[in-house]
Amino acid sequence: MLKATILILYLASSSASTGMTVTTAEFATPEACEFAGQQSKAKLGGWGTSAYWVCAPKGEPIPAVPQAR
């Protein structure tokens, strides 16, 4: 049985007033979650915004906020 996977998307702006936004979405498979994370980073990251994402099995603790590299 496939286990639903949660995408946690962190958007961090270089603007001090904006800070960080966290968005979540649920996917039926880990592969779908990974694909959505990659697409989100490609579309949302850039000019003054960093996009970090992780996928976690539904029902498990959410991983810590990724550190900027």
pTM, two decimals, is 0.73
Q: Mean pLDDT across the stretch 8-17?
A: 75
47 in Cβ contact with 61 (< 8 Å): no
Strand order through the sheet with 5-13? 20-27, 5-13, 49-57
Domain boundaries, the chain: 5-57
pLDDT digit string (tens) for 24-66? 889 998 999 999 988 888 888 777 788 888 888 888 887 776 6
- The whole-chain average pLDDT of the chain stands at 80
pLDDT digit string (tens) for 37-47? 888 888 887 77
Strand pairing of 20-27 and 5-13? antiparallel
pLDDT value of position 2: 61
Please report the beta strands in 1-69, taking only residues with DSSP state E, as ranges in sequence order: 5-13, 20-27, 49-57
